[in-house]
């Protein structure tokens, strides 16, 4: 789960929301809870970058290619 979420955030250009350790995770969670402005900026950036996930056909084409190759 963690690698999937970090991969998604990195692909969206949101590396600062990826924790490298348990301590970093706790610090980030506390910052998001306590700092409303930071939380809102993060939310807006996620919203602005969601197209990276939902409008990119490259992963679908790669899966198609893989499945076609395996089916041969």
Alpha-carbon distance of 49 to 54, in angstroms, equals 9
Question: What is the tally of structural domains in the chain?
Answer: 1
**Can you give the pLDDT at residue 59?**
84
Q: What are the pLDDT tens digits along the chain (72 aa)?
A: 568 899 999 999 999 999 999 999 999 999 999 999 999 999 999 999 999 988 888 888 999 999 999 998
**Can you give the pLDDT at residue 3?**
86
DSSP codes of every residue in 22-41: HHHHHHHHHHHHH-HHHHHH
Overall pTM > 0.95:
no
Which residue range(s) make up the domain with 14? 2-71
**Can you give the pLDDT at residue 56?**
85
Tokens of 5: 């979420």
**Can you give the pLDDT at residue 1?**
57
């Amino acid at each position: 789960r963690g690698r999937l979420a970090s991969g998604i955030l990195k692909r969206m250009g949101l590396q600062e929301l990826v924790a490298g350790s348990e301590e970093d995770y706790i610090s980030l969670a506390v910052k998001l809870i306590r700092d409303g402005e930071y939380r809102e900026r993060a939310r807006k950036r996620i919203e602005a970058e969601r197209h990276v996930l939902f409008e990119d056909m490259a992963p679908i084409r790669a899966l198609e290619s893989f499945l076609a190759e395996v089916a041969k």
